[in-house]
Amino acid sequence: MSNLKQYKCPSCGGPINYDIASGNLKCPYCDSEFDIETLKGYDEDLRKTVEEELNWLDKPGLDWTEEEESKLRHYVCDSCGGEIIADVNTGATRCPYCGNPVIVPQKFSGTLRPDLVVPFKVSDKQAQEAYRNHLKDKPLLPKYFKDENRINEIKGIYVPFWLYDAEVDMAARYRTTRSRSWSDSNYIYTETSYFSVFREGEIGFDNVPVDGSTNIDNALMESIEPFDISEAVDFKTAYLAGYLADKYDISAEASQEQANQRIRRSAESALATTVRGYDGIALESMNMSLNNHTIKYCLLPVYILNTTYKGEKFTFAMNGQTGKLVGDLPIEKSSYAMYFAIIFLVVSAIAFIIQMFL
């Protein structure tokens, strides 16, 4: 069987055909012409493009020792189903995810021992103070959110993350343009030149984090990044004392697609910065392959506060290493209406005064 190859026009993407009259390859859609030597270079680039290969074969995490298992307790929340691992001396009175006070102790089993842990650097008192400051000077916030008994429910929890390391070979093709304009007494002319640009390279990624728990929204966890993984230490159960630790329910294999997406976005951005000197740049295709890849299982420190206002759940999260705090806030509708009514009256009054002096 013969191999068939189709060239596409760098200008419009249409198929290019051999034009007998000119001896060149010509696009029947936009009339662009390309000489044979130019397309030889195009063909050479195609042969150098790496095949897409984004498979992670590593198995992170270790098995718990018998001594470690004896010092741990496994809790399951009756309300939301969140699974939590705690030190044997930790009194877990409320679920950090939904605030449910009924937590039933069960036998600990069925999870991997983490490779690493980033210890808490922010104390619970500092977390509470940061939360209070976050609520200050917000006139539209319901009074309920400033109630002290809600502040005291901030929980420190170690959240399971998969950390992905890899060297990435990448190759991409871009369609680029340059334009120039000139005019005479009758017309303005614009000439646009189209180019096909090929780039390839290698980039390294260390500790790309992916949340291994369905109990916390991925966007919320990404918003409190980054964590400084250089401060991670070998896991010991002593780090759990006084805190909770979520049990991962998304495996390293199931998390690979999200890791690949984060790596792809960063790789595309890095490679695109090498394409310079053009007025327009559009990515046509990109392939990547992973080399020297590893996966680690790590616990990262997070403070979580969950509360409900008028039937709607609000979650706040703080990076327990850096103190970065994020979370959505509700708006008191009556205050909202009054607030903007006052603004409207003030703006109207100013406009009226200005109009009088015109």
- SS3 at position 239: helix
pLDDT 10s digits, 41-68: 655 555 555 566 666 666 676 666 666 6
Other beta carbons within 10 Å of 118? 22
pTM above 0.85, yes or no: no
Rounded Cα distance between 33 and 31, Å, is 6
Task: Pinpoint the alpha helices (H) of the chain.
Answer: 36-48, 66-70, 124-135, 148-151, 218-223, 252-272, 333-357
pLDDT 10s digits, 64-118: 666 666 666 667 776 777 777 766 545 445 676 666 654 545 555 556 788 999 9
pLDDT band at 227 (very low <50, low <70, confident <90, very high): very high
More confident residue, 280 or 308: 280
Other beta carbons within 10 Å of 275? 16
Rounded Cα distance between 118 and 107, Å, is 26
Chain centroid offset of residue 162 CA: 13
